[in-house]
Amino acid sequence: MDDVPENIIIKASKGDIDAFEFIYKAYSQLVLNVAFRILDNMGDAEEVTQQVFLAVYQKLNKFQFQSSMKTWIYRIAINCAINYSRRTSRERDRMVEYNEVFHSQNSAGEIEKHMNKEDQEEIVHSFLKVLTPDQRACIVLRNIEGLSYQEIAETLKININTVRSRLKRAREQLLAVRKKVVNNEL
């Protein structure tokens, strides 16, 4: 997706509702997808999307064109989703969720055989649930949204080595969960 033209951003920052609507239409689905991947709940993702665009509207006059509008909105979306996740689920028992999802399946062979897109989405969401919100944000931006390490670092305003570290820990955790699933089902 191309970034929103600078003149539209300037108009929106000065209160032009049509220009803001243009920005909203350009990025609302992206924000919703990112929030959903992090929160794994459509209602929560819609709530976060509203929070994101409220924040964008309030802070648009402070946007300084040092990054792209897309990167700036990604950053706001990730931060809102992570903060929302922390607020709503401080006492999350990740392994219980893992057991509920993966012990309901019969065998690895049957999973592959009967899997459709909805099943795949459910499995992706289940795996993402075992990660911390920070790890989940990095995995979503890298593996689902396709951002580079540098773009993730800019979006999250963290060091590129922190991105690498979070991705490494997240992948290790996902591999460990996958190994447990395979060992328990065989």
All residue ranges of the chain with pLDDT < 50 are: 1, 91-96, 98, 105-107, 186
pLDDT of residue 96: 47
pTM of the full structure: 0.60
Domains identified in the chain and CATH numbers: 1-90 (1.10.1740.10), 92-186 (1.10.10.10)
Residue 32 CB burial class (10 angstroms; 0-12, 13-18, ≥19): middle
Percent of the chain that is helix, strand, coil (3-state, to 5): 80, 0, 20
pLDDT of residue 90: 52
Residue 140 CB burial class (10 angstroms; 0-12, 13-18, ≥19): buried
pLDDT of residue 94: 47
* CA dist list (Å): 150 to 41, 90, 102, 125: 28, 29, 34, 25
pLDDT of residue 2: 61
pLDDT of residue 54: 94
Looking at residue 62, the DSSP 8-state letter turns out to be G
pLDDT tens, residue by residue, 139-154: 888 888 888 999 899 8
Strands (E), the chain: none
- CA 3, distance to chain mean position in Å, is 19
* CA dist list (Å): 127 to 15, 108, 118, 123, 159: 42, 15, 14, 6, 25
pLDDT tens, residue by residue, 148-175: 999 899 888 899 999 999 999 988 888 8
pLDDT of residue 7: 92
Picking from 146, 130, 42, the residue whose alpha carbon sits closest to that of residue 138 is 146
